[in-house]
């Protein structure tokens, strides 16, 4: 279902309504277009190592661009909650592109994209590939085999850009403008990366971040074999892996790319401000800290990629019952038999701020760990060598009835199933609980005995006996793999991809991978790389969810428990084994001597040209009588001097920000008056976490609205490692908007400048 954790609230009512709406309005379309490592490698300085051979020089380009899209009136992608509709912006969303290339054979290259999106997507990837093909022969080296599109899995970004019907339902369909913003921004980040390719050294190191995640389904984790569990200290992957990119010409660091497993659910389902969640915070802090530091190149970019995220939570204090304050039931995360009141608590849950400060804290912890790794890499890091081995493969595999030998037990032949979701999927998680009688006990939930859900399921699509047997013990709630009316509801055709740069292997996984699933998968790749590729010390990481949203993958043992993650494993108990088998099968294509690509497989359906949309556009904007756009309606207390920790607000006559996404620009600015002049300099904008843009529709028919800018003046906690410290002085808030005229629909830019106020830093 629309990713993600929980609140599938009244899904059948929505689905049945959609079916009726489809029949009534079929022609109303939206148009479109981990981390395993070895310490046996020799330790050496990664900077200015004059004895280093040329095989450690790769061509690397890194680029970043804005993919924010509509910040209001569009339901967020993640919690599948139609009430979580955007009302403003806390932090812009970005695509960060990392290109690694064999300097002697430029066609041997790959692009790894870290996007502040809930997941990679089939239609978005298709749009990016088409865009690259239209950019000329210089970009012909990039194609389906070497383009990897990962999402950081933020649950606080606008939806309506996805390929399949099911994740479109909460957002009322597909929005062409939202899709275009994502595709165009990704293409721009790739273009910037391509144009900045330069000889670069890569180094790799890791450090455990223990308090950055917890396992939200420990009961499922305990179903894994005890002998296997004893090999690991924790029930989540605590390792943060970091790749550093140092420009060969001057040893300046142009970027970092990290992998760490933690859900983008620090911000709860009642948050309606767009943000990159905790990984967006981590990237923001590292990029901000690099400014003014001579070790970093101008335009330094930090990518914080997702990894084995499936059963992790950033709400590190654990789940509690809201009414009693007691622990939730361990087996199924219920309180008095219901999931609704069982919520995970972040580090600052007492702030009652929709998880905002907890989100910053989990991002801050990732940043601090990445910084600690960076600071010690000159003496401890592993140099990535063998630039002749830059390779990638990508294939599509239909998981509906795929039969294969088990990679874990070759004597067994296994089969995957057509996509289906279980009852525990609707039970949600402790990050976002479900409602009604659904729980995270998918084999014995009260919902499994409720005839209403059985009737509703069968009206939509009754599962066959073969499907029921294939998915066992999952109790099927939504049998979606075979649904193609009015177009495909979910993915049966799945991306299989691995990237290689020397000893570094990146598993590009489509589903949200549980902790133990990720461990098994990475170990299998490492063992096979040693065996058939001759890599003595493979460095294996996993990036997910990528390329298309395939919901979850758990181990077979976890699947048997049928908590949320098992109920959301689309293709049955053998899903993990299928992914592992396929990546191992195609691993020989990553040999340095390989000049071939595997057969691409069956191309998935692209639904952008036939996707339904019930999202209304902006009709028009009007200011109140006697006012004009940008006029100040209220401002800060003029008699007060503001200090760190205070929040300053100014409210303006506004207009709908959907008129102009202001990509690569800003809606907001904090400006400081240059002493003894009439000039003002920008010191904060949409990039900054503590500057918030809120939009509120006042009179829908007339089209009046208000915009409030809020700046929380950073104290030491929020100013961590910011080399450009806040100065005392005179400040003001500056609003940039665009209005849509009645009748003509003309879009006109305007500005609003708030009254000045004093700040004592």
Interatomic CA distance for residues 314 and 219, integer angstroms: 18
How high does pLDDT run on average in the chain?
Answer: 94
| Residues 386, 313 share a domain | yes
- Is the domain of 219 the same as that of 291? yes
Q: Is residue 396 part of a domain?
A: yes
Closest CA to 282 of 298, 299, 306, 250: 306
* Residue in the structure block whose two tokens are 């009141």: 341
CA distances, 23 to each of 32, 481, 615, 652 (Å): 21, 20, 17, 43
For residue 739, the 8-state DSSP code is: E
Q: Is residue 606 part of a domain?
A: no
Residues 558 and 662 in one domain: no
Is 396 part of any known ligand binding site? Answer: no
- pTM for this structure? 0.94
What is the CB neighbour count within 10 angstroms for residue 449? 11
Overall residue count recorded for the chain in this entry: 761
Predicted pLDDT of residue 54: 84
Residues facing 338 on adjacent strands: 335
Instruction: Compute φ and ψ for 122, nearest 5 degrees.
Output: -60, -50
CATH code for the domain of 693 = 2.60.40.2300
Q: Determine, yes or no, domain membership for 548.
A: yes
For the beta carbon of residue 22, count every other beta carbon within 10 angstroms. Answer: 15
Contact between 156 and 274 under an 8 Å Cβ cutoff? The reply is yes
Cα angle 298, 299, 303 (rounded to 5 degrees) comes to 135
Boundary-marking domain end, from 534, 566, 590: 590
* Final residue of a structural domain among 556, 590, 624: 590
Q: Is the same domain home to 749 and 641?
A: yes
Provide the residue range defining the domain that includes 743.
632-759
Task: Give the count of beta carbons closer than 10 Å to the beta carbon of residue 17.
Answer: 12
- What are phi and psi for residue 178, nearest 5 degrees? -65, -45
Q: Which positions of the chain have pLDDT values less than 70?
A: 1-53
Same domain for 311 and 206? yes
Q: What is the pLDDT of residues 467-518, one digit of tens each?
A: 999 999 999 999 999 999 999 999 999 999 999 999 999 999 999 999 999 9
Rounded to whole angstroms, the Cα distance separating 233 from 211 reads: 14
Residues 690 and 569 occupy one common structural domain:
no
SS (H, E, C) 383-423: EECCCCCEEEEEEEEECCCCEEECCCCCCCEEECCCCCEEH
Residue 268 lies in a domain: yes
From residue 201, give the alpha-carbon distance in Å to each of 13, 53, 104, 295, 538: 55, 11, 15, 14, 18
Q: Are 574 and 637 found together in one domain?
A: no
Residue 23 confidence (pLDDT): 33
pLDDT attached to residue 1? 38
The answer to whether position 651 is within a domain reads yes
Catalytic one of 144, 154, 305, 313 = 313
Query: Mind listing the pLDDT tens digit for each residue in 636-695?
Result: 999 999 999 999 999 999 999 999 999 999 999 999 999 999 999 999 999 999 999 999
The reply, when asked if residue 153 is annotated as ligand binding, is: yes
* Number of folded domains that form the chain: 2
Q: Give tens-digit pLDDT for 21-74.
A: 333 332 323 333 333 323 233 333 445 443 345 899 999 999 999 999 999 999
Q: Are residues 90 and 177 in the same domain?
A: yes
H or E element that contains 150: strand 147-151
661 and 748 share one domain:
yes
Residues 299 and 201 in one domain: yes
In a domain, 390, yes or no: yes
- d(CA 149, CA 134) in angstroms, rounded, equals 19
Residue 408 inside a domain? The answer is no
Same domain, 567 and 645: no
Per-residue model confidence (pLDDT) at position 53: 54
Q: Spell out the alpha helix ranges (H) of 196-261.
A: 218-221, 226-229
Non-local CB neighbours of 628 within 8 Å, separated by 6+ positions: 653, 750
512 marked as binding residue: yes
- Residue 679 sits in the same domain as residue 546: no
Please indicate whether residue 514 is annotated as part of the active site: no
Residue 461 is assigned to a structural domain of this protein? no
């Amino acid at each position: 279902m629309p990713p993600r954790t929980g609140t599938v609230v009244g899904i059948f009512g929505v689905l049945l309504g959609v079916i009726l709406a489809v029949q009534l309005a079929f022609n109303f379309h939206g148009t479109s277009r981990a981390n395993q490592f070895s310490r046996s490698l020799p330790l050496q300085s990664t900077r200015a190592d004059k004895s280093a051979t040329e095989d450690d020089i790769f061509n690397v380009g890194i680029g970043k661009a804005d993919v924010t899209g509509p910040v209001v009136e569009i339901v967020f992608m993640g919690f599948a909650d139609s009430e979580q509709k955007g009302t403003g912006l806390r932090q812009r969303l970005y695509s960060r592109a990392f290109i690694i290339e064999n300097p002697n054979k430029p066609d041997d290259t790959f692009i790894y994209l870290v996007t502040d999106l809930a997941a990679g997507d089939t239609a978005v990837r298709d749009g990016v590939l088409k865009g690259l093909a239209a950019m000329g022969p210089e970009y012909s080296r990039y194609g389906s085999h070497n383009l990897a599109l990962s999402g950081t899995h933020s649950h606080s970004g606008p939806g309506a850009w996805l390929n399949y019907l099911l994740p479109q339902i909460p957002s009322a369909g597909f929005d062409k403008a939202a899709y275009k913003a994502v595709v165009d921004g990704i293409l721009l980040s790739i273009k910037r990366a391509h144009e900045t390719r330069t000889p670069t050294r890569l180094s790799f190191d890791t450090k455990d971040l223990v308090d950055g995640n917890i396992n939200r389904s420990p009961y499922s984790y305990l179903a894994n074999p005890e002998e296997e569990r004893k090999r690991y200290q924790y029930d989540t992957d605590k390792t943060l892996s970091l790749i550093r990119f140092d420009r060969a010409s001057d040893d300046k660091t142009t970027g970092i790319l990290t992998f760490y497993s933690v859900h983008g659910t620090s911000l709860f389902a009642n948050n309606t401000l767009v943000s990159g969640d905790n990984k967006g915070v981590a990237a923001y802090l590292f990029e901000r800290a690099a400014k003014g530091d001579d070790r970093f190149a101008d335009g330094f970019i930090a990518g914080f990629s997702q990894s084995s995220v499936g059963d992790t939570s950033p709400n590190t204090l654990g789940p509690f019952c809201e009414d009693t304050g007691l622990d939730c039931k361990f087996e199924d995360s219920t309180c008095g038999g219901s999931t609704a009141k069982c919520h995970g608590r972040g580090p600052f849950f007492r702030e009652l701020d929709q998880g905002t400060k907890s989100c910053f804290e989990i991002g801050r912890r990732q940043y601090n760990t990445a910084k600690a790794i960076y600071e010690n890499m000159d003496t401890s890091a592993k140099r990535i060598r063998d630039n002749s081995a830059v390779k990638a493969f990508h294939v599509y595999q239909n998981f509906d009835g795929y039969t294969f030998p088990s990679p874990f037990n070759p004597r067994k032949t296994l089969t995957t199933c057509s996509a289906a979701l279980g009852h525990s999927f609707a039970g949600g998680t402790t990050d976002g609980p479900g409602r009604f009688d659904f729980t995270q006990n998918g084999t014995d939930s009260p919902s499994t005995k409720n005839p209403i859900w059985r009737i509703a399921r069968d009206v939509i699509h009754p599962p066959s006996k073969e499907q029921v047997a294939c998915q066992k013990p999952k109790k099927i709630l939504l049998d979606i793999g075979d649904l193609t009316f009015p177009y495909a509801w979910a993915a049966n055709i799945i991306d299989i991809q691995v990237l290689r740069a020397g000893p570094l292997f990146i598993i590009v996984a489509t589903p949200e991978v549980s902790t133990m699933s990720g461990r098994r998968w990475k170990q299998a790749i490492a063992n096979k790389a040693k065996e058939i590729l001759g890599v003595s010390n493979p460095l294996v990481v996993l990036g997910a969810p990528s390329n298309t949203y395939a919901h979850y993958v758990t181990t077979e043992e976890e699947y048997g428990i049928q908590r949320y993650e098992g109920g959301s494993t689309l293709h049955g108990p053998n899903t993990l084994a299928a992914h592992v088998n396929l990546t191992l099968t195609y691993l020989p294509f990553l040999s340095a001597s390989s000049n071939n690509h595997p057969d691409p497989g069956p191309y998935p359906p692209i639904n952008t040209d036939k996707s339904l949309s019930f999202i209304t556009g902006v009709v028009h904007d009007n200011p109140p009588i006697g006012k004009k756009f940008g006029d100040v309606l209220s401002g800060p207390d003029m008699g007060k001097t503001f200090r760190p920790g205070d929040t300053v607000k100014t409210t303006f006559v506004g207009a709908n920000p959907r008129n102009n996404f202001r990509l690569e620009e800003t809606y907001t600015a904090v400006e400081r008056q240059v002493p003894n002049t009439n000039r003002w300099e920008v010191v904060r904008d949409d990039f900054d976490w503590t500057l918030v843009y809120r939009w509120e529709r006042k009179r829908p028919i007339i089209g009046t609205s208000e915009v409030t800018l809020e700046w929380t003046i950073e104290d030491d906690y929020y100013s961590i490692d910011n080399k450009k410290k806040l100065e005392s002085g005179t400040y003001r808030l500056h609003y940039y908007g665009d209005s849509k005229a009645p009748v003509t629909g003309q879009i006109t830019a305007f500005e609003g400048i708030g009254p000045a106020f004093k700040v004592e830093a």
